Amino acid sequence: MRKKKKRIVVIGGGTGLSTVLRGLKTHQFDITAIVTVADDGGSSGRLRDDYDIPPPGDVRNVIAALSDVEPLVEQMFQYRFTNSNDLGGHSLGNLMLTALTDITGDFSYAIAEMSKVLNVHGKVIPAANKKVTLHAQLEDGTCIQGESRIPGATLPIKRVFLIPEDVQPLPAAIHAINKADVILIGPGSLYTSIIPNLLVKEIGEAVVKAKAKKIYVCNLMTQRGETTGYTASRHIEAIHQHVGTSFMEVILINNDALPQSVMESYKEENAEPVQFDVERLHALGLEVFKEEIAMIENGAVRHHAVNVASWLCNYVEQMERE
């Protein structure tokens, strides 16, 4: 008798989400990715405004990460036009998703059809099926409108919120959360990739109520304008504050110091390694796992997709035994 695949829901956006999914798709998991639609910069932002649709960029990257096609086909899907005034900055995948949405009148249906074409392992679901705008309120009360402007904040962020606030999730997203064995949150930009998903009220509520084990894959570096000076526990506290209750049970952190040369290069970006305040994490009721989950790629710190996925496999097997 074949073993039933464990249902994993991964919530996030940006490169962090795509990286982790590339590792997970090589294992026997039933994967659902719930992807942020708060982006309003670059190609995504232009298409969002021109066609009044959710931004396709993060979704495109997730489809590419979970696809099983010839490398050349994936390369074509991710191809970005550079030598044209009209097409400059647009990626082919963004244009294809926009065209499909315009033809069908439904962003989520366009994603499902594109997922078939690219033989995607699992389901890709946008956090919302219509355009939303992310706002940030800073500590002095001023507000910034637009996801792309938030990293330029010069004061700490007090909270972020969506307009419209009553945006509805897709039923498929809630169904996946309710049925999940594990909910993986992160890695990704805290205020612009992770929290916006949980601000869709019914998604946040469903995650809190879900029977699944809730795991946070902690960021490796702080981000200028978003998380300057943040420890691992500050990341958790910010998530809990926005959802309105404590719900995270497990945190996965890196187990080793990053090379000094890499840390020097990040100083120009006002970024530094996230400090893992393990005692505080325990005080918040979290089970803490330290693993080798960081790698250096072209001078940048990235999550090691294979190691994160291997740890999750071992963790799920341990869950089954218990």
Residue 253 has a pLDDT of 98
Q: Is the distance from CB of 302 to CB of 217 less than 8 angstroms?
A: no
Phi-psi region of 111 (alpha: psi -120 to 50; beta: other; left: phi over 0): alpha
Whether 227 maps to a domain, the answer reads: yes
SS3 290: strand
The one-letter amino acid at 15: T
Whether 117 maps to a domain, the answer reads: no
Whether 47 maps to a domain, the answer reads: no
**pTM given for the model:** 0.96
Q: How many structural domains are present in the chain? A: 1
Q: Which two tokens stand for residue 153?
A: 């904040």
Whether 68 maps to a domain, the answer reads: no
Separation of alpha carbons 196 and 93, rounded Å: 23
Q: Is the distance from CB of 216 to CB of 308 less than 8 angstroms?
A: no
Whether 252 maps to a domain, the answer reads: yes
Whether 185 maps to a domain, the answer reads: yes
Residue-wise pLDDT tens digits, 258-289: 888 888 889 888 899 999 999 999 999 999 99
Angle at 119 between CA 24 and CA 293, to 5 degrees: 15
Residue-wise pLDDT tens digits, 110-152: 999 999 999 999 999 999 999 999 999 999 999 999 999 999 9
Residue 321 has a pLDDT of 87
Place of tokens 């497990």: 250
| Residue 313: domain span | 6-33+173-238+246-321
Q: Is the distance from CB of 128 to CB of 200 less than 8 angstroms?
A: yes
Instruction: Kindly state the average pLDDT of the residues 222-231.
Output: 95
Phi-psi region of 244 (alpha: psi -120 to 50; beta: other; left: phi over 0): left
Whether 256 maps to a domain, the answer reads: yes
Q: How far is CA 8 from CA 96, 198, 257, 294, in A?
A: 27, 17, 29, 22
User: What's the CATH code of the domain at 219?
Assistant: 3.40.50.10680
Separation of alpha carbons 186 and 17, rounded Å: 7
Whether 225 maps to a domain, the answer reads: yes
To the nearest whole number, what is the mean pLDDT of the chain?
A: 95
